[in-house]
A and B are shown apart, each in its own frame.
Chain A
Amino acid sequence: MSAGDPIRLVVALSVAGMLAVFVLYTSIAGGATPSLRPSQLAGHHGNVALVGQVVGPVHGDAEGTGMRFDLTDIGGGAAVPVVYRGSVPDLFAVGRHVFVSGRLHDGVFVAKPGSLVTKCPSKYTPAKGGAA
């Protein structure tokens, strides 16, 4: 790149400026949601993504009134009751690690419909780009 080319400098600076604004915009205006473990959940009442381990028993009906289960930190700890409606992924089971997003409501984590995602069990180490 020739240092004396003012046009290029202008273009680069304007794009860099645009980028900076966009990034600031998204990080301030709440494009991001906090990702928490169940033990950190107390006190958060906004939208969060919860990462934890499923503890049984799982009861209820995800298609009807809602499926209920508890989530603890991976490795154990305090449990948070979760109610979820929507499609249940293949890998969902007691003991699995899952993400779910939603918000805390009177001590119960009410999940957004369809937000449940399971992590693969540790027994498998899927190929890179495995099941997308």
Chain B
Amino acid sequence: MTVLPLAVALLGLAAIVAFVAAPLVRRGSQGSAPADENLPVLERRDRALAALRELEFDHRTGKITDADYRALLGRLRTEAAEALQAVGPAEGAG
């Protein structure tokens, strides 16, 4: 009864040490992750496209008057076009 817990504890300790130390032994780290300048641009694109979809749906469900709809549509389309252009041809398809 006194030996068993000790053995279990030691075994557990060994397993934990091995698990925690494993990444250090297996070297070959590639440094930190690269910067993310592109991310705000992507977010802007997704947001602009979502806003267009939302506007369309709000108009269809009658939450927005035709005049407001037309005024906003032009602006949101310009925004979306700019956002898509900023993302560039590779990712632009969204």
Q: Within the complex, are A and B direct neighbours (CB within 8 Å)?
A: no
